[in-house]
Amino acid sequence: MTEATEFPEPEHEPEHEPEPEPEQFLSWRTVLRNLPYIVALALAIFGVAYSSFTGLAINGYWEILAVAMGIVCVYTGWPRAPDREARLKLVWTQAAHWATILVVMNLVLLRGVQQVLPIQATGLVLLLLLGTGTFLAGITLLSLRICFLGLAMALSIPAMTWLKQASLLLALGGVAVAGLAIAFWPRGQKASG
């Protein structure tokens, strides 16, 4: 037997590679990776806000945004396309998909349709078409980010209309909350003698 203080030499253990640290929720890397999706959503919401509040139609803006979404979809699917044939298929299916969305957008922008659809509603309809097209492209690409972007675009429509209708109510609620906060805010107690 060996003494308690004598231990056999451990065999040389292979070095383990350090496990990659999980990304933080709002790190620069995460923001940069999601930047195309964030910019697309911001531009879509800006387009609706601009056309709703100015009353001006920005038809070319929606067409450019649809083409940009097609580029974002190809960018998203490109790393998963293993060879030239798959990449060519990706480009052609996305081109056909977004060309269809552009045709439908232009149908909405026809003069006959515009006579029954106010300019403020036109922006909402175009955003709905863009959101639907984006969501369907996400399903085709099996991309959760693209699906979420399309869903966020589509859900921003009721959110904007609700916000527009409820802005006075929200302002009054904010004033009431501020008043209650001021009324019940703890104040310093004077020291009793």
> pLDDT tens digit string along 92-106?
999 999 999 999 999
- Specify if 129 maps to a domain: yes
User: Torsion angle, CA of 142/145/148/153, rounded to 10 degrees?
Assistant: -120
List pLDDT tens digits, range 5-57: 565 565 655 555 666 555 565 678 887 888 888 888 888 888 877 876 777 76
Angle at 27 between CA 23 and CA 28, to 5 degrees: 125
Residue 117 near residue 125, CB atoms below 8 Å: yes
Query: How many alpha carbons lie under 13 Å from residue 174 in its C-beta half-sphere?
Result: 6
pTM, entire model: 0.70
| Among 129, 98, 99, CA closest to 113 | 129
- Which structural domain range is residue 90 located in? 31-173
User: Given a cut of 80, is residue 79 above it in pLDDT?
Assistant: yes
Residue 40 near residue 137, CB atoms below 8 Å: no
List pLDDT tens digits, range 123-168: 788 889 999 999 999 999 999 989 999 998 888 878 777 777 777 7
- Specify if 71 maps to a domain: yes
Number of domains in the chain: 1
- Specify if 94 maps to a domain: yes
pLDDT score for 172? 77
Query: How high is the mean pLDDT of the chain?
Result: 81
pLDDT score for 10? 56
User: Given a cut of 60, is residue 67 above it in pLDDT?
Assistant: yes
Mean pLDDT on 157-181: 76
- Specify if 145 maps to a domain: yes
